[in-house]
């Protein structure tokens, strides 16, 4: 009984130190994006009421980068993944999966802290991210920045 209580406390402490829990749907949708190419992007939101990262919106494979940008709120933090297709100088079709940590200057300080402290744990749940981008202003995640980071 003593050991069970000690173990539960250690697990609870580990979760609180490493950030929010991650809803299974986040991992499933990411696998659909990565393996099946079902989606172009996924936007994730931390639900503070249930202490979990949740899927907020998915973008179909035919959606554009502009659709992605409009899916991210201007004044609230979010995580997102974007499957970027491009052609190399050698005329080869390639794709890279970007992880974007969006933390605008205008968002609440508590929200910025929450997203920053949960980012690493959340990223570990999404196996297959190739490029990470942190942005506080829309210009830091423009299509030109994405293209430059992909190559």
Query: What is the pLDDT, as a whole number, of residue 21?
Result: 94
Residues in the chain: 151
Listed residue (99, 105, 107) closest to 141, CA to CA: 99
The string of DSSP codes covering the chain is -HHHHHHHHHHHHHHHHH--EE-HHHHHHHHHHHTS--EEEEEEEEETTTTEEEEEEEEETT--HHHHHHHS-TTS-EEEEEEEEEE-TTS-EEEEEEEEEE--TTS-HHHHHHHHHHHHHHHHHSTT--EEEEESSGGGG-HHHHHHHH-
CATH at 85: 3.40.20.10
Residue 14 lies inside a defined structural domain of this protein: no
Establish if 5 belongs to a structural domain.
no
Q: Is residue 13 part of a domain?
A: no
So what's the pLDDT on residue 20? 85
Give domain status of residue 121, yes or no.
yes
Residue 37 lies in a domain: yes
Domain residues for the domain of 111 are 19-150
pLDDT of residue 151: 86
Contact 68, 82 (CB under 8 A): yes
- Domain membership of residue 11 (yes or no) is no
pLDDT attached to residue 140 = 97
- CA terminus-to-terminus distance, the chain: 55
Predicted pLDDT at 114: 95
In a structure prediction context, what are the per-residue pLDDT tens digits for the chain, which is 151 residues long? 444 444 343 333 334 444 689 999 999 999 999 999 999 999 999 999 999 999 999 999 999 999 999 999 999 999 999 999 999 989 999 999 999 999 999 999 999 999 999 999 999 999 999 999 999 999 999 999 999 999 8
- Per the structure, how many domains does the chain have? 1
Q: Please report the pLDDT score of residue 13 as a whole number.
A: 36
Confirm whether 3 is domain-assigned.
no
Can you tell me the distance from the alpha carbon of 83 to that of 96, in angstroms, rounded to the nearest whole number?
6
pLDDT confidence of residue 4: 45
- Residue 79, CB half-sphere, CA atoms under 13 Å: how many? 27
């Amino acid at each position: 009984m003593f050991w069970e209580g000690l173990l539960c406390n250690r697990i609870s402490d580990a979760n609180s130190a490493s950030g929010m829990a991650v809803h299974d749907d986040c991992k499933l949708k990411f696998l659909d994006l990565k393996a099946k190419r079902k989606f172009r992007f996924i936007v994730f939101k931390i639900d503070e009421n249930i202490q979990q990262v949740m899927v907020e919106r998915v973008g179909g494979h035919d959606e554009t980068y502009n659709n992605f940008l409009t899916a991210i709120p201007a004044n609230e933090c979010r995580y997102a993944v974007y499957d970027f297709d491009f052609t190399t100088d050698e005329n080869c079709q390639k794709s890279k999966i970007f992880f974007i940590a969006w933390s605008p200057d205008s968002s609440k300080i508590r929200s910025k802290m929450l997203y920053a402290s949960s980012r690493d744990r959340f990223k570990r749940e999404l196996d297959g991210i190739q490029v990470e981008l942190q942005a506080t202003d829309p210009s830091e995640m423009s299509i030109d920045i994405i293209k430059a980071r992909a190559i």
